[in-house]
Amino acid sequence: MTTKVINPKTLRKSNKVNIKFILWSKGDMSRLHLAKELKLTKASITQIVNDLVYEGEVEEIGNVERKGAGRPEILLRLNTKKHIAIGLNIENDKTHLSICTLDEILKDFVFNTKDRINSVKDIIELVRPVIDRWIYPYDPIGIGVGIVGPVDNGISINSYGILPNNSDIKKELEKEFNIPVKVINNIHAQARALLQGGNDNYMLIKHSPGIGCAIISNGKILGGEHSNAGEIGHSIMEINGLPCRCGKKGCLEAYCAEWHIQDLYESKSGVKVPIEEIYAKYGEDGLATKILDDAIQPMALAIVNTSMIVDPKKILVTGGMFNNEKLYGVIMNKLQELGMKKDCDISIVPQEQNIKAFAGAKDIIMNKVLEV
């Protein structure tokens, strides 16, 4: 039997991270409370907390009265403003470029980037003015990038038409700006931006323009072997079915993505109409109603089937047809019809735009500061 020797420096670093994580996920607490949570002596906690306060990672925010005898305890709070990162959320139509702390969006620029981002060079040109203008005084710890499709080790494997396949975003951005870059799937980044604590269990499902899904299990994103877990948009609904933009046939997206709804409406009516107008016609125009009903059915099936596999506590939905009040009601009814579990809470993501702004930035901060 071998005894594992833990380096005291490593242990101290890990205790520091654990303290920050507990303050983030469970809220403000005293040194005594922290000692109980981490099963450490009050003396050890005091020493580590003092370091964290000195480093500006943790703040003392006032006294909390102790019951019975003894001095009042000082309440501690994670300094969420300490670290700042640049976030980039790249989707087919729009790109959010933001500067964020762990809980605040300091700047958020939204660009209409449909057909404007075709290479990593285009991303560099988009980010450059923000880096040049805001690197001082913000001193960001890095750039967090969320992009459509599977990502492996900073490389966008397939962003379904945004960048060429196998674009090394991390390498090129780090070379250009000389700060750390982390790249993950955009829906994974948005699901992580919604994370509140260490044992959350939820699914995020996004409609528009494609269909994305991310699974948070016990506070951690389910990545999978190719960082692709939850990619329900490209799960096959029909053998040799309709062609999908990923190159396969019969994918869920081919039946209910916005591009399919718009194309189908245009081919049947001869008129090209913005997607919001088609949504607004639901229940009033026969063609729009039929196309949307046909799109809702596979979407609802995918939600019910995925939730059977994942067993989440809640499902958060966002974008496209979920954002239309009438259609949201129809989808919820369809889910009940299909036997959706009653104790699984489904709700719409509040302030969707904020989640997009937070996405990549919050991901890199959580990763570097809280190691989650």
Residues that bind Zn ion (CB under 5 A): 234, 244, 246, 248, 251
For residues 344 and 336, the answer to whether their CB atoms sit within 8 Å is no
Measured CA to CA, the distance from residue 300 to residue 311 in angstroms comes to 16
Give the strand pairing for 314-318 and 202-207.
Answer: parallel
CB atoms within 10 A of CB 110: 14
CB atoms within 10 A of CB 17: 15
Indicate the SS3 state at residue 368.
helix
Give the strand pairing for 345-348 and 314-318.
Answer: parallel
For residues 173 and 90, the answer to whether their CB atoms sit within 8 Å is no
Least distance in angstroms from the C-beta of 235 to Zn ion: 8
In DSSP notation, 198-235 reads: TT--EEEEEESSSEEEEEEETTEE--TTTT-TT-GGGS
What residues form DSSP beta bridges with 55?
none
Least distance in angstroms from the C-beta of 171 to Zn ion: 27
Please, which residue, 213 or 251, has the CB nearer to Zn ion?
251
For residues 129 and 121, the answer to whether their CB atoms sit within 8 Å is no
Least distance in angstroms from the C-beta of 92 to Zn ion: 14
Please, which residue, 143 or 244, has the CB nearer to Zn ion?
244
Least distance in angstroms from the C-beta of 145 to Zn ion: 22
In DSSP notation, 8-72 reads: HHHHHHHHHHHHHHHHHHH--EEHHHHHHHHT--HHHHHHHHHHHHHTTSEEEEEEEPPSSSSPP
Least distance in angstroms from the C-beta of 149 to Zn ion: 10
Please, which residue, 143 or 251, has the CB nearer to Zn ion?
251
For residues 143 and 179, the answer to whether their CB atoms sit within 8 Å is yes
Least distance in angstroms from the C-beta of 151 to Zn ion: 17
**Angle made by CA atoms 189, 114, 213, in degrees to the nearest 5:** 30
Least distance in angstroms from the C-beta of 231 to Zn ion: 9
Least distance in angstroms from the C-beta of 251 to Zn ion: 3
Helix (H) or strand (E) holding 351: none
Least distance in angstroms from the C-beta of 254 to Zn ion: 6
